[in-house]
Amino acid sequence: MNAVTWKGMAADADARTGTMTTPHGDVMTPNFMAVGTRATVKTIDTEDLDRLEAQIVLANTYHLMLRPGEDVVHQLGELHGFMAWGKPILTDSGGYQVLSLNPKVTEEALVFKSSYDGATVELSPERSVAVQEALGSDIAMMLDIPVALPAERSVAERVMHHTLRWAERAKAAKRRHDRALFGIVQGGADPELRAISARETAQIGFQGFGIGGLAVGESRIERSKAIAPCIEHLPTDAVRYVMGLGDTEGILDAVAQGVDLFDCVLPTRVARHGKALTRDGDISIKRAEWADDANPIEAGCPCVACRRYSRGYLRHLNRTGEVTGQRLLTLHNLSYTYRLMGDIRHSINHGSFAAFRDDVLARRKSGGDNSGTS
């Protein structure tokens, strides 16, 4: 029996809603995962996430295997007990973070220097699965090899086949039947390579599928062209997850193509730099015009930052470097993102997604500012 399943509920053209069932509860899709890199979402805690009605979070394998180590996390109740979070958790494979360290890529593993103490570390498909199973996440991701874009076709093709070989090894290494392992589709921005990767990854067989190697600087058109063949060749009864995508426009584009799941540091990272996400465009709380503004960030937003505090106060916190300001903007940006996902699901269920998408894109294009730091 599969540890994680997905059941469709409604469709509006290619956009779809569904329920992903996991050992720690259900996730309504499309949905967004806040990134809890070191078993915490920066500046907030799991009670905050409960109040925001978050349904699933992501944790980072690379950082946790090095600090405090998967054995410590396992002894302290696996990730759910360790971070006091009773809902679903997905862990990434660690490969994306390792690649920023310029590792040696061999057939067997990624070999790199730890960013903590400089020690030599090897991360293989088997090791990545074992670490994630010790962490106890509901969903583990196979170790893949992303390729920086733009990339020569020959490079993207070589890396894609390398990732497919590692997919076979990752599946063979899986030991826990009570947890799921997702495959990952690569292929750069080349639609033909994406089709091959999706088809062959699906044939290997996983309980869900990540679409990796995107949201790394490619245009919206390039991304959509890369996603399309993945959707065409992946099973219709499994989760489709675009990894690392979290901006409003990108989410709406991908949902329109049939994507179910997203993650990104964007909502929390830009909050720490003073940017607030709103339906009428993103704003920088640093702007002098907000100094004596008594209005909330976004009228009608139910988050604590908007219910209790003014733009003027939040600007004051940002200008004086108060951590409370980062926390409040983080809570707002996550509230915005979760409300966006809820509205997306509602519109799909009622056959009005296209109109909803057009309205959001038009409002954001006409409002906000570009002065925040991302």
Decide if 65 contacts 99 (C-beta within 8 A).
Answer: no
CA dihedral over 83, 89, 94, 99, signed as positive or negative: negative
What would the two tokens of residue 256 be?
């329109």
Q: Strand (E) positions, 272-373?
A: 275-276, 283-284
Q: Strand (E) positions, 130-270?
A: 139-141, 180-185, 208-211, 239-242, 261-264
Verify whether residue 92 is a known catalytic residue.
Answer: yes
At 250 the three-state DSSP class reads helix
Cα–Cα distance, 17 to 33 (Å, whole number): 16
Verify whether residue 263 is a known catalytic residue.
Answer: yes
- Residue 320: count of CB within 10 angstroms of its CB: 9
Distance, C-alpha 84 to centroid of its chain: 20
Could you tell me which of 323, 286, 324 has the C-alpha nearest to residue 308? Answer: 324
Decide if 264 contacts 281 (C-beta within 8 A).
Answer: no
- Residue 152 carries which side chain, given as an amino acid letter? E
30 CB burial (10 A radius; 0-12, 13-18, 19+): buried
> For 185-198, b where at least 16 C-beta lie within 10 A, e where not — what string?
bbbbbbbebbbbbb
259 CB burial (10 A radius; 0-12, 13-18, 19+): buried
Catalytic residue among 138, 253, 263, 282: 263
Catalytic residue among 12, 92, 247, 253: 92
Name the residues annotated as catalytic: 92, 263
